[in-house]
A and B are shown apart, each in its own frame.
Chain A
Amino acid sequence: MKTVNAKIAFIVFVIVCILLFPRQAHAYLDLGTGSFIFQMLIASSLAALYFFKSYVRRAVKLIANLFNRKKDAE
């Protein structure tokens, strides 16, 4: 539930940034620049998500190991 809320908040933040200053589309498009800037916009949230995910993965692995050790001991 918390992850879903975080994802929704993140998306709202990005949409607001993109829509805040609407501009005329220029005929001579440089799509690469848009992709670069988009990455900057989402960078810190991606880092947070990744940290959260790897933290959860590590915790799950630790618990699984504890369980296995318990089983072996029995």
Chain B
Amino acid sequence: MKDPGSFRDPSGFIFSRDNILYRQINTVYKENYEQLMNSGLYRALVDEGLLIPHEEADFSLKLSEEGCCVIKPEPIPFISYPYEWCFSQLKDAALVTLQIQKLAVDYGMSLKDCSAYNIQFRKGKPVFIDTLSFETYREGQPWVAYRQFCQHFLAPLALMCYRDIRLGLLFKDCIDGIPLDLASSLLPLRTRLKFNLLLHIHLHARSQKRFAAETQREHKGKMSRRALLGLVDTLRTAVKKLAWRARKSEWANYYREFNYTDEALEHKKRTVREFLAVSKPGLVWDMGSNTGVFSRIAAEEEILTISMDLDPLCVEMSYRDCAERSETRILPLLVDLNNPSPDIGWQNQERSALFKRRQADTVLALALVHHLAISNNVPLGAVAEMFSLISPWLIVEFVPKQDSQVQRLLTTREDIFPGYTQEHFESAFLSYFSIEKSERVRDSERILYLMKRQ
């Protein structure tokens, strides 16, 4: 079965057979593929952890006549997209892409596309997954992927850094990266004083409009190898210099400032660990994970954990912490549960909705439900239903109304939640789950539940 997101490239496509992922390489790409493998570039990229490794597969597995060979790439444990990444994840993805391009030119090849969707996260680090993106480098030709790099990486990073961190969400609607004229109009005037941004975004955008109607691409002059390396180098400097200085976020200090005594926090951690030992998951979704305190518990038990939160600073802090500790089992992602990533792209099948990707074996919903039920007016029954659709096991925390956190949510609004009680909470969830265990968190009135889907 062909992957619905893999169809634009005539060089080949991804498909699956019996739940195994393969990539068909078409005859038109054969020479480039052989150069990739024989020149030493493939080996160099894989050894640096920059390109996803693959094995040669049986030729008879090909799906169509254009195929000349089939390869089996190492599967990515959990797919994510640029609009779900924090600032540093996108920045690291950009730097990896440029590092690959530089190395490719050294081996006589060049990237023919620089889509952010060519990067996925594996063991905590960005890795390039499109093995068919490499073509023979012909000196004199400009870099065909330059426009795409600017739209997929430089423009969104600059917007997130200089205008607003939330502009990364534009990726959801701009399927081929952020148009440069849009980025140029949104960026503040002071970015025109920065050499690399002036060049690669503002002047680049003007140039696109100015020369849009040219009938020939061949203009006077050529682009030497040194000029291409200079281009890659200035792009690298531009990306490196972008640093997001985050303002304080109300969420980032949550565990330090609110509610938990040291003993309570330790007790909660112990209980979550015990519950995980019962459900024994292969994959955990930690929803509303804040800076990933409890994702770390799951990761310590050798469980792959997707750590989701809607605050960009929390996801950023979580990612940086993982990078510092060389954590390989946690993937922090930016997710708003009130509007999780939908199906988008061609026929709305190119990039899959969050809930259609690899399902969790256990969901952690700690200090989360009161936000959905009270701040977002979602009835408890609907919350329970949502969890039941995405995971067979659930570790959920009930925060009662008398808790100071819920009282804070109610200070500026009318209490229209008579149904928000422990009794109603349990009965709402019992429509979908059975309660296997429950434990009151020490020094508080909060209750942790381990639930199993019926």
- Listed in ascending order, the chain A residues whose CB lies under 8 Å from chain B are 7, 11, 14-15, 18, 22-23, 25-26, 29-44, 46-51, 53
Contacts and interface: CB of A to CB of B under 8 A. Distances in A.
Given A35-B146, A38-B211, A39-B146, A47 B227 contact: yes
Indicate the size class of the contact surface on chain B. 35 or more
B199 to A, nearest CB: 7
B207 A35 contact: yes
Interface of B: 142-144, 146-147, 150, 179-180, 195, 198-199, 203-204, 206-214, 217, 219-224, 226-227, 229-231, 233-234
A23 to B, nearest CB: 6
B75 to A, nearest CB: 33
Complex A-B, nearest 4 residue pairs according to Cβ-Cβ distance, in ascending order: A50-B230, A34-B208, A46-B230, A35-B147
B233 A50 contact: yes
A23 B209 CA distance: 9
Given A33-B212, A34-B212, A47 B226 contact: yes
17 contacts: A11-B195, A14-B203, A29-B208, A30-B213, A32-B144, A32-B217, A33-B211, A35-B204, A36-B144, A37-B217, A38-B204, A39-B142, A39-B223, A40-B221, A43-B142, A43-B222, A50-B233
A38 B208 contact: yes
Contacts of B223: 39-40, 43
Contacts of B229: 50
Given A34-B207, A38-B208, A43 B234 contact: no
B212 A39 contact: no
B234 A49 contact: yes
Contacts, number: 111
A26 B210 CA distance: 9
Interface majority SS on A: helix, strand, loop or mixed?
Answer: helix
B233 A18 contact: no
A53 to B, nearest CB: 7
Contacts of B220: 40
Contacts of A34: 147, 204, 207-212, 214
Nearest to B216: A33
A37 B213 CA distance: 12
A46 B68 CA distance: 39
A56 B210 CA distance: 35
A44 B227 contact: yes
Contacts of A11: 195, 198-199, 203
A20 B220 CA distance: 17
B227 to A, nearest CB: 4
Contacts of B203: 11, 14-15, 18, 38
Contacts of A18: 203, 206-207, 210
A50 B179 CA distance: 27
A38 B226 contact: no
B207 A38 contact: yes
Contacts of A33: 211-212, 214, 217
A33 B210 CA distance: 10
Nearest to A21: B210
B221 A36 contact: no
Contact of A46 (B208, B210, B211, B234): B234
Contacts of B206: 18
A44 to B, nearest CB: 7
A42 to B, nearest CB: 7
A33 B204 CA distance: 11
